[in-house]
Structure 1
C-alpha cells in the first residue's frame, strides 16, 4: 500500500465515484494526493511493487525455497497475497538485464607474459591450481611413496608450473584466422560464393551468412581468443532472452504430458512463469558469484564460491522435479518419470534454441 497522503475530497479522481475509505470501491484507485515530491518518481515503483507489507519478500522467499508453492496458491484463487506471476517475471527479468549491463561478463584467458604472478591467471585457473596443489600435498604426506605416486606428482606438477605452456597457448588462442584456416575447404569468400552458386543447398540460408562472417573476421585479422570471448559474452547475455522465447514452448510440453481436462494451458503457463523466474534469479546469482570468484585472490574463498555455483546449478534441476510433484500431485514414481521425460525434451529443445542464438551471436561479432 502507498504511503501517499489521503485526499480530503471523497470523489475519485479516476471515475468520480464516492470514496468512503482509502480506495475507490468502483475502480480500485487509491484516493491520495496527485502531486508528489520529485523523489516520489524513484520510490513509487519499488513502493508499488513491494507494497511495504512484505508481499514481494514473501514472494521471493516462497519462489526460492518452496518449489511449487506460489503456483499452487495462485491456482487456488488466492492472488492478492503474492506478486502476480507475469509481474514477477517482468521484474526479475528487468533486474537480471540491469545487473548484466552494470557488470559486463568478461572472459579472461590470462596474461601469460608474466605467468609467475597468480593475479594474471585466467578465470578458472586459480581454483584449478589450488585444488591440484592440495592433491599433490596429500600424496606427498604418505609415509611411503610408490612409483605411481611419483609419476602422479610429476604429471600434476606440470599443471601448477607457471612456466609450462598453457591451454590457451597450446590452442594458439592468440593466433589470427590466417590463410591456413579455411571454411568448408575454401580460403576466400569469392571462391566459396562461386561454389555455393554452382551447388545450392537448402541450408544456404544458414551457411552463407556464417561463411561471410567467417571471411569478414579473417580479413580483419581477428584472433581465436577474441572470437571465443565475444561469442561467450554475447551468448551469456542472450540467455535471458532465450528463456523468454522458450516460455510458451515449455508450457506446451507440460500441456502435452498432463490431463487436458484437469489442467489448462493457462495453468501450465503459471507454473512456467514461476519456474523461469526462479531460473533467472539462479542465473543472476551464479553470474554474481562468478564475478566475485574472478576478483578473489584467496584460494579457499574462490573454491567455496565455485562450489556454491555448482550447488545452485544442481538445485535448479532438483527444483523442477520438486515443483512438478507438488503442483501436479502425481505419484512419486509417475511424477519422476514424467519429470525426466519433460526435462530431457526441454533440455534438447532448449539446447537447439541456444545453438541458434549462438549462431546469431557469432553473426553479431564485430
Structure 2
C-alpha cells in the first residue's frame, strides 16, 4: 500500500514515466500540492521566494540606467522578469498607489478651514417681491438658529452663508424692479398663465457634435459622451475625487498605446542602429518601468511627508528627495539611451531632446483626452 506522499509512476501532466522528483519531459514536479498540505505550503513559499528574488535582481539592474535593457537584449533573460510583465506590475501598482495618495475630496480640509454651507439658488423662481422675502426668511431661519448654537470662532462660515442669502435676495429684488409690466391686449384680456417647464430630452442639453471629417456614428457617440459629461459635472463638483480615481484607473490602459508609440519614435530616430522594432519596444518598456518606479517613489514620499509634517525639518528633506527624483528621471533616460544605442554625447543629446519633445506632446495630448474621457466614466 502506497503512502499518501508516494510519487505517481507517470507524470500527471504529460504521462511520461517519472525518474525522479521532476518530469524530464515537461518539468512538472512529481509532488502534487492538492494531495499534501505540506507540499502545498512548500510550493507557495518556493514560488514566492523565487519570484521575490527575480524582482530584487530586476529592480537592482533597472535602477542602473540601461543596464537591464542591455542585458536583456544580449540574451541574459533567465534571471530577470520579462519587460512586459515588469511594466504591467509596476504601472498597475503605481497608479493604484496614486489613487490612494492623491486626495481632492471637499471634506479633506474640513478641520483646517470649515466649509461654507451650500445655499440653494431658489430666488430665480420667485416672481414677486413678497415671494423673494418669504424665501429669504425660510433660508435665513435655520442659518441664524445654527449660528446661535455655535461658538464665536466657528461662526464665520455661517456668517458667509447669511450674507450670500441676503445678496441673492437683493439681486432678485433688483431684477424684479427692472422687469417691464405686462401689457394686456384689451381690458378684458387675461394674462396667459406661465407654461410649465419641460425637461430636455436626453442628449438635448448640448448642441450635437458635428465634425465634418468624422462618420456619423462617431459624431453621435461624441454627442452622447458630451451629454454624459454635462450630467456628471454636478457630481464632480461635490466629489472631485471621483474624477481623480477615474483618471488614474485609465492611465495604465493609455500607457499600452503610448509605450508602443515611444518604441516607434525610437525606431525612427535610430533607424541605422540595426535593431528591430521589438528591441526598441524592450527599451521603451524598461524606460516606462523606471518612470513608474520613480513616480511611485514620489507618491510614497508625498504620503510620508503628510504623515511627518509636524516634525521640524522633515518637510524640507522630503521636498529635496522629491526634487532629486524629478531631476533624475530625464537624466536616467538620457543615460539609458546613450548606453543602449552607444552614440556620442552630442548625437544622443540632440536625439533625446527631439524625441522627448515629440513624446511629451503625445503624452500631453493623451492626458487631456484621458481627462475628458474620465469625465464620462464616472
Q: What is the aligned partner in structure 2 of residue 330 from structure 1?
A: 343
Q: What is the aligned partner in structure 1 of residue 56 from structure 2?
A: 57
For the residue of structure 1 that corresponds to 2:343, the secondary structure is coil
- Say whether 1:83 aligns with 2:81: yes
Report how far residue 294 of structure 1 moved. Answer: 2.7
Report how far residue 26 of structure 1 moved. Answer: 3.3
* CA distance 1:70–1:214, change in 2 (3 Å): closer
Aligned residues of 1:71 and 1:327 also touching (Cα < 8 A): yes
Report how far residue 322 of structure 1 moved. Answer: 0.9
Q: Deviations over 1:23-59 (max 9, x none)?
A: 5443333444443666987885674365178332111
Q: What is the aligned partner in structure 1 of residue 47 from structure 2?
A: 48
Report how far residue 13 of structure 1 moved. Answer: 3.3
Aligned residues of 1:100 and 1:237 also touching (Cα < 8 A): no
Report how far residue 277 of structure 1 moved. Answer: 1.6
Aligned residues of 2:91 and 2:252 also touching (Cα < 8 A): yes
Q: What is the aligned partner in structure 1 of residue 66 from structure 2?
A: 68
Report how far residue 9 of structure 1 moved. Answer: 5.7
Report how far residue 292 of structure 1 moved. Answer: 2.3
- Say whether 1:234 aligns with 2:246: yes
Q: Deviations over 1:64-109 (max 9, x none)?
A: 2x111111111111111222222322332453355456x3631256
Q: What is the aligned partner in structure 2 of residue 321 from structure 1?
A: 334
* CA distance 1:53–1:285, change in 2 (3 Å): closer
Query: Which is further off, 263-272 or 47-56?
Result: 47-56
Report how far residue 353 of structure 1 moved. Answer: 1.0
Structure-2 separation of matches of 1:52 and 1:357: 34
* C-alpha RMSD of the superposition: 4.0
Q: Over alpha carbons, which structure has the higher Rg?
A: 2
- Say whether 1:271 aligns with 2:269: no
Structure-2 separation of matches of 1:223 and 1:87: 34
Structure-1 separation of matches of 2:82 and 2:326: 26
* CA distance 1:214–1:33, change in 2 (3 Å): closer
Map of 1:60-139 to 2, 5 A cutoff?
60-64=59-63, 66-96=64-94, 99=97, 103=100, 105-107=102-104, 115=112
Aligned residues of 1:106 and 1:233 also touching (Cα < 8 A): no
- Say whether 1:284 aligns with 2:296: yes
Q: What is the aligned partner in structure 1 of residue 315 from structure 2?
A: 302
Aligned residues of 1:71 and 1:270 also touching (Cα < 8 A): yes
Q: What is the aligned partner in structure 2 of residue 152 from structure 1?
A: none
Q: What is the aligned partner in structure 2 of residue 162 from structure 1?
A: none
Q: What is the aligned partner in structure 2 of residue 196 from structure 1?
A: 207
* CA distance 1:332–1:49, change in 2 (3 Å): farther
* CA distance 1:59–1:115, change in 2 (3 Å): closer
Q: What is the aligned partner in structure 1 of residue 377 from structure 2?
A: 364
Report how far residue 321 of structure 1 moved. Answer: 0.8
Aligned residues of 2:232 and 2:376 also touching (Cα < 8 A): no
Report how far residue 224 of structure 1 moved. Answer: 4.3
Structure-2 separation of matches of 1:200 and 1:337: 41
Q: Deviations over 1:251-293 (max 9, x none)?
A: 1111111136711011011111211222222222222222222
For the residue of structure 1 that corresponds to 2:75, the secondary structure is coil
Structure-2 separation of matches of 1:15 and 1:209: 54
Aligned residues of 1:96 and 1:281 also touching (Cα < 8 A): yes
For the residue of structure 1 that corresponds to 2:223, the secondary structure is helix
Q: What is the aligned partner in structure 2 of residue 134 from structure 1?
A: none
Aligned residues of 1:321 and 1:336 also touching (Cα < 8 A): yes
For the residue of structure 2 that corresponds to 1:244, the secondary structure is helix
Query: Which is further off, 258-267 or 31-40?
Result: 31-40
TM-score (norm 1): 0.64
Structure-2 separation of matches of 1:302 and 1:39: 49
* CA distance 1:32–1:278, change in 2 (3 Å): farther
Q: Deviations over 1:282-323 (max 9, x none)?
A: 222222222222333325223322332222222222211111
Report how far residue 11 of structure 1 moved. Answer: 4.5
* CA distance 1:108–1:286, change in 2 (3 Å): farther
Report how far residue 348 of structure 1 moved. Answer: 0.6
* CA distance 1:328–1:205, change in 2 (3 Å): farther
For the residue of structure 1 that corresponds to 2:331, the secondary structure is helix
